[in-house]
Structure 1
Amino acid sequence: METLLLPYPEGCRVGRFIRREKRFFVMAELDGEEVTAHTNNTGTMLGLLRPGCPVLLSPARNPARKLKWTVEALGQPGGSGFFWVGVNTSMPNRLLEALFRKGLLAWAGGYASLRREAVNGESRLDGLLAGPSLPELWVECKNVTLVEDDVAAFPDAVTTRGAKHLHTLMRLVSEGCRAAMLYVVQRPDGRCFGAADYVDPDYAEALRLAVRAGVEVYPTVVHVKEDGIHYGGMLEYREC
């Protein structure tokens, strides 16, 4: 039985995707009516925005919020029906903590504490792990929703900020720390992981340099279901 890492809030609903408007709005059909839902995903969601596909919506926690729904996942054709792709970009940071608390980060053995949103210089990284007689372990998390030719890939849009994080991690390694990228693959159909050099060659080159400098890469699959997000194992990182 799969390990449930993060449950979705009660009241989630499945609607039908209509279109994306601007950056933060998704139009969906729910109970025969068109509703506007919030998406925090600033990427392109390349290949996912199929009119008519299922969309998983969670209710806003704040009843006073103008938009009553948040987009959690989009359904994509596969197998005998469809599978969910998690597009909520706040999840990887939360999943880092869930994986750590449940002892599912084999590469973080011996570390006793995790501080999220840790600041180093001008950068804010997703996590800082500490343990007795162990070097600091800095972790940056990214959400992966793109798969091409069976390769789960990041990013799906040009990201100068992402490249900046890689350079920060390289510096930390040079200072004697450990540093790692946790790529959370929120879909089940990737057989390995690599940088999307066809989307952002600069990021791909920065990742290659980071790995050679000692930055660790851990592509981790999660299975998105209507009750929440489950642990799905690890993927091999392949340098493109």
Structure 2
Amino acid sequence: MSEPLIFYPQGCRRAIFIRRYKRFTVEAVLDGEVVGVHTNNTGSMLGLLREGQEIFISPALNPNRKLKWTLEAVLPHGDMIGVNTSVPNKMLQLAFEAGQLPETEGYTTLKREAKVGNSRLDGLFTDDSGKLPNLWVECKNVTLVEDDVACFPDAQTERGRKHLMELMDLAVKGDRVALFFFVQRNDGNCFGPSGFIDPEYAELFYKALDGGVECWAYEAVLSEQGVGMGRKLPLATCR
């Protein structure tokens, strides 16, 4: 089992999910009391939020924050599924620094939130010697599995389609470009775009692959201590 690269803060707890009643807020029962829990996941979290199931929450590091807890994972069937969308970006950097991301071999520097055009991508890898092309990476959190396939997205995503277009434009200019899909659950055997949710994204995804965009789909190793880097998932064969 991979050791965590991201560690949850001290004082994490299990609670019982009640409902998601705002975009960034869920209600849960903790020690017999109803508490508000912040979630940064703007996706649908399709099939993951069921009343009465266990969730895993971390205490807010800022004592002045209104919501004192953060949603880290859900446990719909006992196994942890990570829903904190800041994790893939952190993992990109930590896995690179730990030498656990072979696709970045030879690169020496990672710039987070790198500006390109009128927007920003999650990471830009460069080589101090200048021998390697710039490597642009966009990170995505994956929480949906259907028929053993880890799928992205879990809702219609105009933003995701925009990122695909930006990566394809960069590939045409000669840069390396990649999508880092971090699958925060362990029951998928391969990865593929969810054409049954966003067919336009799926079509554009395969067009991007044909245009030189790389797909890095990695499975997370989740425990109540933190998140580690797991196996790389192959791409689903159906198109």
Structure 1 residue matching 2:56: 3-state secondary structure: strand
Corresponding residue for residue 160 of structure 1: 158
Question: Can you list the C-alpha shifts for 1:155-178, whole angstroms capped at 9, x where unaligned?
Answer: 000001001001100010100100
Corresponding residue for residue 201 of structure 2: 203
Note if contact 2:151-2:192 (Cα within 8 Å) is conserved in structure 1: yes
1:31 aligns with 2:31: yes
The amino acid that maps onto 1:210 is A
1:219 aligns with 2:210: no
TM-score normalised by length of structure 2: 0.97
Aligned 1:1-240 pairs, distance under 5 A = 1-77=1-77, 82-131=78-127, 132=129, 133-238=131-236, 239-240=238-239
Note if contact 1:123-1:168 (Cα within 8 Å) is conserved in structure 2: no
Note if contact 1:157-1:199 (Cα within 8 Å) is conserved in structure 2: yes
Structure 1 residue matching 2:200: 3-state secondary structure: helix
What stretches of structure 1 of length at least 5 have no aligned partner?
none
Note if contact 2:4-2:221 (Cα within 8 Å) is conserved in structure 1: no
What stretches of structure 2 of length at least 5 have no aligned partner?
none
d(CA) in 1 for partners of 2:191, 2:63: 39
Q: CA deviation at 1:11?
A: 1.1
Question: Can you list the C-alpha shifts for 1:121-171, whole angstroms capped at 9, x where unaligned?
Answer: 012100000112000000000000000001000000000100100110001
Structure 2 residue matching 1:67: 3-state secondary structure: coil
The amino acid that maps onto 2:185 is R
d(CA) in 2 for partners of 1:230, 1:175: 34
d(CA) in 2 for partners of 1:165, 1:71: 26
d(CA) in 2 for partners of 1:69, 1:100: 29
State the number of aligned residues.
236
Moved over 3 A (4+): none
Structure 2 residue matching 1:36: 3-state secondary structure: strand
Q: CA deviation at 1:3?
A: 2.4
The amino acid that maps onto 2:117 is G
Percent identity of the aligned residues? 53
Q: CA deviation at 1:76?
A: 2.3
Structure 1 residue matching 2:79: 3-state secondary structure: strand
Q: CA deviation at 1:22?
A: 2.1
The amino acid that maps onto 1:106 is P
Question: Can you list the C-alpha shifts for 1:60-107, whole angstroms capped at 9, x where unaligned?
Answer: 111000000010000021xxxx11000011111111001101111111
d(CA) in 1 for partners of 2:211, 2:144: 26
The RMSD of aligned alpha carbons is 0.9
d(CA) in 1 for partners of 2:228, 2:104: 19
The amino acid that maps onto 2:25 is F
